[in-house]
């Protein structure tokens, strides 16, 4: 009997020393979790290098391309209904923020190319870029079997999340509170540890460190996206410049917000009796 490529790969990894095998599984599962975001970024890069002279604009193609990725992943059972719902929720939140940030009175960034599928100044493919963050979180949660110890009360985490999202809007009119929010979040999550399994070994790390790592890689992806002219900041109109490292703090808050949102949804699933939620007892291992 001929084994499938996946089974063959698993057998080969299982023959390796346990630490090496776990490291490889970690990399493979991270790649799996990043699948939607990686494919979307690949499409943005490829169309920046070459896009044919056709009636369909590049931005509109990216909308169709992103929807196509979602449909393909779902049809191939590589994405669950839970992940689809998370992506849709992130898309709605992101579109609201994009409409505000790209308005003429704010002008935080702009989309220099024309498109048909848009709302105001916002091409509809942009929501998928934020959805990629939600997709990564949901897929990583499922693939690594996350559980937590030392998690703060959900109402505290919820307040941090709500204020973080509101600050993306309000800091244009009142003092920016991103640093108080970052410090407050650090205090709230100081003792929180994330436990995860690449394969058989359970590993752990501080949750705050996880926020920093993911925010850093999102910042790198943002540099790639602006280099590919998917959007541009005011200082990039005359030519591409690296995105300011100060944007890292915005992505850190977005990462923290994303995590709290998905965590809250999974806790709600638990109360409704939906299969799959993780029970978390503050300060105790579960």
- 183 found inside a domain: yes
Question: What rounded mean pLDDT belongs to the chain?
Answer: 86
- 285 found inside a domain: no
pLDDT at 13: 75
Share of the chain above pLDDT 70, in %: 91
When pLDDT is cut at 50, 70 and 90, the band that residue 267 belongs to is confident
- 284 found inside a domain: no
Query: What is the mean predicted confidence (pLDDT) over 275-285?
Result: 42
**Residue 285, pLDDT above cutoff 50:** no
pLDDT at 276: 46
pLDDT at 135: 84
- 8 found inside a domain: no
Both tokens of residue 113? 């190319």
* pTM for this prediction: 0.84
C-alpha–C-alpha distance, residues 232 and 226, integer Å: 6
When pLDDT is cut at 50, 70 and 90, the band that residue 23 belongs to is confident
Both tokens of residue 240? 């591409």
- 1 found inside a domain: no
- Give residue-wise pLDDT tens across range 166-211: 999 999 999 999 999 999 999 999 999 999 999 888 999 999 999 9
Find the Cα–Cα–Cα–Cα dihedral 238, 243, 245, 246, rounded to 10°.
Answer: 80
**Residue 232, pLDDT above cutoff 70:** yes
C-alpha–C-alpha distance, residues 259 and 257, integer Å: 5
The CB-based long-range contact list for 117-121 (8 Å cut-off, 24+ gap) reads 117/59, 117/60, 117/63, 118/59, 119/95
Count of domains observed in the chain: 1
- Give residue-wise pLDDT tens across range 146-158: 999 999 998 999 9
pLDDT at 286: 36
- 24 found inside a domain: no
- 258 found inside a domain: yes
- 26 found inside a domain: no
**Residue 215, pLDDT above cutoff 60:** yes
**Residue 264, pLDDT above cutoff 80:** yes
In which domain, by residue range, is 150 found?
Answer: 32-272
**Residue 283, pLDDT above cutoff 90:** no
When pLDDT is cut at 50, 70 and 90, the band that residue 274 belongs to is low
């Amino acid at each position: 009997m001929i084994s499938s490529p996946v089974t063959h790969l698993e057998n080969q990894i299982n023959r390796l020393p346990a630490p090496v095998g776990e490291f490889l599984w970690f990399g493979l599962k991270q790649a799996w979790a990043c699948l939607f975001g990686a494919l979307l970024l690949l499409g943005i890069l490829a169309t920046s290098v070459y896009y044919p002279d056709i009636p369909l604009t590049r931005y509109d193609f990216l909308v169709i391309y992103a929807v196509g990725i979602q449909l393909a992943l779902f049809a191939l059972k590589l994405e669950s209904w839970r992940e689809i719902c998370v992506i849709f929720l992130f898309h709605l939140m992101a579109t609201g923020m994009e409409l505000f940030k790209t308005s003429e009175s704010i002008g935080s960034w702009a989309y220099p190319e024309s498109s048909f599928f848009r709302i105001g100044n916002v091409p509809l493919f942009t929501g998928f870029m934020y959805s990629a963050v939600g997709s990564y979180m949901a897929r990583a949660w499922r693939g690594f079997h996350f559980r937590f110890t030392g998690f703060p009360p959900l109402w505290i985490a919820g307040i941090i999340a709500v204020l973080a999202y509101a600050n993306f809007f309000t800091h244009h009119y009142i003092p920016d509170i991103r640093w108080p929010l970052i410090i407050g979040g650090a205090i709230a999550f100081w003792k929180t540890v994330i436990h995860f399994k690449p394969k058989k070994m359970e590993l752990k790390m501080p949750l705050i460190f996880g926020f920093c790592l993911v925010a850093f890689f999102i910042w790198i992806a943002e540099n790639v996206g602006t280099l590919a002219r998917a959007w541009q900041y005011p200082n990039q109109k005359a030519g591409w410049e690296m995105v300011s490292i100060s944007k890292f703090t915005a992505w850190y808050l977005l990462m923290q917000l994303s995590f709290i949102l998905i965590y809250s949804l999974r806790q709600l699933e638990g109360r409704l009796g939906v299969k799959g939620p993780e029970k978390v007892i503050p300060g105790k291992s579960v």
